[in-house]
Amino acid sequence: MPIEAICIPVSLSGKLPAMSALGTRIKAERERRGWSQAALAQRAGISQTTVADLERGTSAATTKLIPIARALKVNPNWLETGQGPRDTIPSGDGRYVCADTPEELAEQLLAKGNDDIAHLWQLILTLKDRQN
């Protein structure tokens, strides 16, 4: 049987509801990284059900937006509203890199470039020699 119409709820302004757009942004960022809902949930410290509910637009768990934004490394305001810069604003706390896993650390170091990697490696070897 052919589908005759697809209905998408819109607000009076003609825009998609905010929760639907929020869910779309979460899902798009999660998929961009190749993560499952469970993987995002683990990184954000929330349940997979919460991720699924937010992506479907059936939950307004705004208390979970900060950990989700941190896990996705996006600006929480952009994630919630779609306004402003997508990327997180550097905290200015003097960190060179900040990672939760060795893999994430490796990705961040690779993004710094070969010169920084070589310099870091030399520092590690120097410190290791001092310990011996």
* Residue 26, pLDDT score: 94
* Residue 105, pLDDT score: 78
Beta bridge partners of 74: 87
pLDDT tens by residue, the chain, 132 residues: 444 434 333 333 344 444 458 899 999 999 999 999 999 999 999 999 999 999 998 887 678 888 899 899 898 888 888 888 888 755 555 566 666 677 777 777 877 788 888 888 888 898 888 887
Q: Count the Cβ atoms, other than its own, within 10 Å of residue 88.
A: 14
**Tokens read off for 74:** 């996006």
Cβ atoms 72, 25 nearer than 8 A = no
* Residue 91, pLDDT score: 53
CA distance 45 to 38: 10
* Residue 31, pLDDT score: 94
Which residues, 6 or more positions from 35, have their beta carbon under 8 angstroms from its beta carbon?
Answer: 43
Cβ atoms 40, 71 nearer than 8 A = yes
3-state SS, one letter per residue, for 97-110: CCCCCHHHHHHHHH
Domain ranges of the chain: 1-89, 91-132
Q: What is the pTM of this model?
A: 0.56
* Residue 93, pLDDT score: 54
Q: What dotted CATH number matches 1-89?
A: 1.10.260.40
* Residue 13, pLDDT score: 39
* Residue 127, pLDDT score: 87
* Residue 34, pLDDT score: 93
Q: Where is 112: in which H helix or E strand?
A: helix 102-112
CA distance 81 to 51: 17
